[in-house]
Amino acid sequence: MTRLFNAPAAFADEALEGFVAAHRRWVRPVSGGVVRSAPAPRGQVAVVIGGGSGHYPAFSGLVGPGLAHGAAVGNVFASPSARQIRTVAEQAHTGGGVLLMFGNYAGDVLHFGQAAEQLNAAGIETRCVSVTDDISSADRADQDKRRGIAGDLPVFKAAAAAAEQGRDLDGVVAAARHANARTRSFGIAFSGCTLPGADHPLFTVAEGRMAVGLGIHGEPGIGEREVPSADGAAELLVSSLLAELPEGVTDPRGERAAVILNGLGTVKYEELFVVYRRVAQLLAEAGVEVVDPEVGELVTSFDMAGVSLTLCWLDEELEPLWTAGADTPAYRKGEVTAPAAGSAEEIRTDEPDAAVPAATEVSRTAAATAVAALRAIKDTVDTHAEELGRIDAVAGDGDHGIGMRRGSEAAHAAAVRAAEAGAGAGTAVGAAADAWADRAGGTSGALWGVVLHAVGAALGDTEAPTAGTVADGVSEASAAVRRLGGAEVGDKTMVDVLVPFADTLAGAVADGAALTAAWDRAATAADDAAKATAGLVPRIGRARPHVERSLGTPDAGAHSLALIVRAVHGVLATH
């Protein structure tokens, strides 16, 4: 388990601070992550990678010459926010454009996509490439739905080496996509990881059993079987990957491959070497020539006891990219020019606080109610954070409680600051929206930012809120979440609660009910809908491969939304 921490919600920030203090030769801090301590040559494409904390040396440990130009680092197992990604990219950019790279997870897709849109709008040409190497997470026909695990490394490196060669943005993107198309990974685990502050692992397997096809966020495997010998583990890993060759590879004999045997946290190097001994034998017997293999911890999951095997099938383009030199805190190969020691001083990129828009007295009064509601949300999330984490861990990664706690605390604090500065309700709630999305990261952070922005826009800063304006804001929030996240009712997400809540609220208001009574009716509908998600199976998101595990347990996002709207009703009843 994770034993050394202070406040669990501060773990990711404090870990990044310590990482920078230990590696200032390679990196310097920016808001949301790190960039190279010595900037890349002018005009070189900047490769910016990122994802959640808890996977070191991914992602911050891979920043340096020959590899990433910057890394955006999110909360534990949660994607960084769009603002964090944008800030890192702006600081890494030297005029050649930016390539954003990340594992194919819903939160990362949302936030990196939003950051790319913002960067392009600001005149910085930006593209995105997600890594999809895990063969256990979707069928071959749905490769675009696969998640990224330890295959991140060869794909990131191919792009970075192409950038070092001086290729333009189109060329770097092409190298990344080509490497991704030829990379496959498969993993096994003997026990799950434990998040900071949690008292139990995200999943367990019986003594003598192992999970097969697990994810790097503690998602349980797609099946279980008896724990084999080291040779047996090697045979399972190799046979699984040789059973699915990428397009263009019809027979492994005579092919060359980059090979990574990755430890996920507590499998020690000596154990890895015992397994790799047999991996090397099996690949040789299959006629595969291994090129510069890597055995060690490249993408971890806290204290998970497990290993994964990655094969990147090389060709004339990819091999020199794989063997090119790199010098980062956690990954070094060949020779590159080492940067001079960097400064530990953080690059300040936050924009100065904008002037608070003018607001009427009645809207400032409404802002006080909004602050009270956000305080109730924060307190409710804090009370239920461990419960939300347990629910999320059944078929997901168990980070929902931590993310919601970080987001709700930041949202409340931002709204307090705005209200104290004289902001109206719309501005105060909008500030809360930005803070929630930025601090929480992940899918839920993005979606709660959308929810609060929609409500804030409806409230405005001049008029007294009415039941109708509030209902309109919630209805727009419902529509915006579906547009952004792509989920619909029945997919086992927060949408299963948000839609009936919004529809019931709008219907009650249309029938003439006062806001408090209408909200009460809608909150009851939300609670019923949240409970009903226990009978659904996930059709999107990280839990999708684990439909059987999910049955009988409500969706964590749906449950937290139901708790929140009931807490807000208590505020409305007293204001």
Length of the chain counted residue by residue: 575
The DSSP element (H or E) to which 30 belongs, if any, is: strand 27-30
Amino acid at 573: A
Residue 48: partners with Cβ closer than 8 Å, 6 or more residues away: 68, 69, 70, 71, 72, 85, 88, 89, 92, 98, 99, 100, 101
- First-to-final CA distance of the chain: 44
Residue type, 114: Q
149: amino acid identity, one letter: I
Residue 450 to residue 437: CA distance in whole angstroms? 8
- Is 217 part of the annotated catalytic residue set? yes
How far from 101 is each of 134, 166, 445, 477, 569, CA to CA, in Å? 16, 18, 20, 29, 41
Which residue is associated with the tokens 């010998």? 229
- Per annotation, catalytic residue among 69, 217, 400, 412: 217
Q: How far apart are CA 200 and CA 380, in angstroms?
A: 22
- For residue 291, what is the enclosing H or E element? strand 289-296
Roughly what angle, to the nearest 10 degrees, separates helices 495-510 and 556-574? 30
Beta strands 289-296 and 256-263, pairing class:
parallel
Task: Give catalytic residue positions.
Answer: 217
